[in-house]
Amino acid sequence: MKVLGQSETAQVEMRPFESPPFETIDEEAIAALVDRFYARVRQDPTLAPLFAQAIDDWDPHLATMRRFWASVLLRAGTYRGNPVQAHERLEGLVPAHFSRWLELFSETATELFSSPERERICHKASLIGATLQSRVCRGDAVTGS
């Protein structure tokens, strides 16, 4: 499948690692997580069409997501935005999208991080996904996967 909306800075080599390369969470690790995760998203048959409708230029989105995760994981305070509002604009967003998002995110975190950082990242992602889903997909059951 074609990678949708690919830019030069968004190209990520998806080779497997012998062991997770990061033992701690820092800006470099967050950038690797975000870039690798969104490279997967753009190739995923479930998520790619949804993201393609919303994102024309991936470079600003990736920069925003790096700031978001730095704010979540490092308390950097660099993210300014409203994730609920951003997701409310997406047509066709259903609980299955959140489940798939969390699945890919967790796989990516597992490849990149050692315990206990991996568990911390996955826990935060799960909370964020559940919160977004409950606010955006009102009336749809929140998935726990």
The top-level CATH class assigned to 23-136 is: mainly alpha
Tell me if residue 109 falls in helix, strand or coil: helix
12-64 confidence digits (pLDDT tens): 666 677 778 999 999 999 999 999 999 999 999 999 999 999 999 999 999 99
Please tell me the predicted confidence (pLDDT) of residue 35.
Answer: 97
Task: Output b/e per residue, 35-66; b: 16+ Cβ within 10 A.
Answer: bbbbbbbbbbeebbebbeeebeebeebbebbb
96-115 confidence digits (pLDDT tens): 999 999 999 999 999 999 99
pTM of the complete model: 0.83
Question: What pLDDT band is residue 140 in, cutting at 50, 70 and 90?
Answer: low
